[in-house]
Structure 1
């Protein structure tokens, strides 16, 4: 079983955990899907790029209010999409390549799960691998969940949240 000084589960914000202070340590990153996490791949960055494109189109559409003759003839959706994805793909690939070229960092593609104290099994496409670490950082993000008793109450979601917050006090 391979032993690391530190294993970070998640290459979104977890990737930022590994700074210069970790030089000389044997570090591993486990990522199930995409380097860069939700913000880079499906959240902040693509949303802002799309919102800014809409802002530019709106500015052109409203230019006459400022005595500027401009005309919005089209928004080329394929071009917008390709520009956004090209940026995301490059950022994701650069982030992965940066970590893979570091001698003290091992990148595992797969899903990690605890099998014991400070011990993980990483399920990868080519089979599972077991690793241990002195320290493990879980930075895999979160998923929203409505607890069973609340979901089963048959109330609209907003009311369930309100009711459950009142009983939790």
Structure 2
């Protein structure tokens, strides 16, 4: 009887360990709200508050497709730079990119997105515009990884300079 009672808990731990997550990392002292926008057919996710200098983890269901943007405290809710993901896409890979298409003038929101463990491949940059972000509708900038944990840098890093993606491997 105890084995059967423990089984659901073990199953929950296994599911939690395999969850799709993005660590949202604030690089400055500005508090922001992160707004999630699902593609049609994906469930809605509640927005989350990200205090300045903090890191918070967002969890996504398998198969979720959509994006997020940030709204700085006291600013208008206007989509800016987007972090975009598709969890469990073609071949079981997870697809991601940073998109400047909606509002390339947003210099305070989403900056970079990459797999948390390997740190590569990397989408976005500290200073926009850059060549490794999704800048035009037909850009070939969507990246993929088998990793289920991504990291998203948000906000303006002090002393940020424009660098090539090869120099960003140790973020």
Structure 1 or 2: larger helix share?
1
TM superposition score normalised by structure 2: 0.19
Higher relative contact order (CA 8 A, sep 6+): 1
Superposition TM-score, scaled by structure 1 size: 0.19
Q: Answer 1 or 2: which has greater strand percent.
A: 2
